[in-house]
């Protein structure tokens, strides 16, 4: 049995057309289905899916990133392998094409979980990760259309993926440019295991929304902890989104449990998402719940 769910952010706004994203998300799920059918690991598939989402330029991550208030592109990413409980992350990384690949390298090739800023960039360089030669030419600004909140609030966009592989392993990965108009050095939930990303033996979760709220409820880990106490994935994920809503936060999350159940609650206008069920069915949705 295999299953997968990915997201392209919960910043979707009703007046925008998402035909390109819908086509792209389906293509990514189809490509990842082939990899899962071939026996690839949940972690490899999660990283591959997020890499494709970063490279598309369609979402506020990777090529579609938005700059911070100083005009710099500081990107965050993390991943977690449920089978081993290993995790890797980068925060405020500048100058590299795929932050999720840098996060994977931190996990695989350092004794640490997270590297930030200049240290993360030095490490990415040493690892031979692909640099961005010309930022002005690389970043498309395509995600800017997600800037849908009143001035002073936190508009957002992110990508992520949760995977269950044929050996029953869960993994999650998330990547973002963060919220629009963020301060230099601001770090949201995305690169923080337990906040924006989590995978253990119970559930895998990737969050999207106003990260300041997701951090304060340990959103991604809380889903798994609730599942561990006997809640269904639907109950666990809705409880976390409700708590964030009660605090005044906006966003959503995607999650998978070890039985292949999928959940994707959100309290924003929409959340771009696509999934593969254990029965092999593929679905794509932006606004419907
Ligand atoms: N959660 C991300 C952050 O706060 C943004 C997003 O998901 O859209 O950086």
What are the residue boundaries of the structural domains of the chain, listed by start? 3-202
Predicted local distance difference test score (pLDDT) of residue 289: 72
Q: Is 82 in the pocket of ligand 1 (CB under 6 A)?
A: no
Going from the C-alpha of 165 to that of each of 30, 41, 46, 151, 162, the distances in angstroms are: 15, 6, 10, 42, 10
Q: Indicate which atom in ligand 1 lies nearest the CA of residue 182.
A: 9
Tell me, in angstroms, the distance from the centre of ligand 1 to residue 157's CA: 6
Predicted local distance difference test score (pLDDT) of residue 13: 87
The per-residue pLDDT string of the chain (289 residues; one tens digit each, 9 = 90 and over) reads 999 999 999 989 888 899 999 999 999 999 999 999 999 999 999 999 999 999 999 999 999 999 999 999 999 999 999 999 999 999 999 999 999 999 999 999 999 999 999 999 999 999 999 999 999 999 977 666 565 555 555 666 799 999 999 999 999 999 999 998 899 999 999 999 999 999 999 999 999 999 999 999 999 999 999 999 999 999 999 999 999 999 999 999 999 999 999 999 999 999 999 999 999 999 999 998 7
Predicted local distance difference test score (pLDDT) of residue 288: 83
* HSE (side-chain half, CA atoms, 13 Å) at 123: 26
Q: Annotated catalytic, 237?
A: no
Q: Is 175 in the pocket of ligand 1 (CB under 6 A)?
A: no
Strand order in the sheet with 86-93: 114-116, 86-93, 75-81, 170-176, 158-164, 3-7, 273-276, 282-285
Q: Is 155 in the pocket of ligand 1 (CB under 6 A)?
A: no
Interatomic CA distance for residues 84 and 146, integer angstroms: 35
Catalytic, out of 2, 51, 158, 190: 158
Going from the C-alpha of 134 to that of each of 122, 137, 138, 200, the distances in angstroms are: 18, 5, 6, 38
Q: Indicate which atom in ligand 1 lies nearest the CA of residue 177.
A: 9
Predicted local distance difference test score (pLDDT) of residue 276: 98
Residue 102 DSSP SS3: helix
Predicted local distance difference test score (pLDDT) of residue 59: 94
Q: Is 62 in the pocket of ligand 1 (CB under 6 A)?
A: no
Predicted local distance difference test score (pLDDT) of residue 143: 60
Tell me, in angstroms, the distance from the centre of ligand 1 to residue 79's CA: 15
Q: Is 179 in the pocket of ligand 1 (CB under 6 A)?
A: yes
Q: Indicate which atom in ligand 1 lies nearest the CA of residue 11.
A: 8
Q: Is 156 in the pocket of ligand 1 (CB under 6 A)?
A: yes
């Amino acid at each position: 049995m295999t299953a997968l769910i990915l997201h392209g952010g919960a910043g979707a706004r009703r007046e925008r057309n998402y035909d390109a994203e819908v086509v792209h998300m389906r293509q990514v799920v189809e490509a990842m289905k082939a990899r899962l059918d071939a026996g690839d690991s949940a972690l490899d598939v999660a990283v591959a899916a997020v890499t494709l989402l970063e490279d598309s330029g369609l979402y506020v991550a990777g090529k579609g990133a938005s700059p911070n208030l100083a005009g710099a592109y500081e990107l965050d990413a993390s991943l977690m392998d449920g089978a081993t409980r290993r995790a890797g992350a980068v925060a405020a990384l500048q100058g590299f094409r795929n932050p999720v690949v840098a996060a994977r390298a931190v996990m695989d090739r350092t004794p640490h979980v997270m590297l930030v800023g200049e240290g993360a960039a030095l490490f990415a360089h040493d690892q031979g990760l692909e640099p961005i030669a010309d930022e002005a030419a690389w970043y498309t600004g395509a995600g800017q259309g997600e800037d849908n909140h009143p001035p002073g609030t936190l508009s957002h966009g992110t990508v992520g993926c949760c995977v269950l592989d044929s050996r029953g392993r869960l993994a999650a990965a998330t990547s973002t440019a963060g919220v629009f108009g963020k301060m230099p050095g601001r770090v949201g939930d995305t690169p923080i295991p337990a906040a924006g990303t989590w995978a253990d033996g119970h559930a895998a979760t990737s969050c999207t929304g106003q990260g300041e709220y997701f951090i304060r409820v340990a959103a991604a880990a809380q889903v798994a902890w609730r599942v561990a106490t006997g809640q269904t994935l639907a109950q666990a994920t809705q409880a976390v989104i409700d708590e964030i809503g009660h605090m005044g936060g906006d966003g959503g999350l995607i999650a998978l449990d070890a039985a292949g159940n999928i959940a994707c609650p959100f309290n924003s206008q929409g959340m771009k998402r696509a999934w593969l069920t254990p029965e092999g069915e593929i679905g794509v949705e932006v606004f419907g719940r």
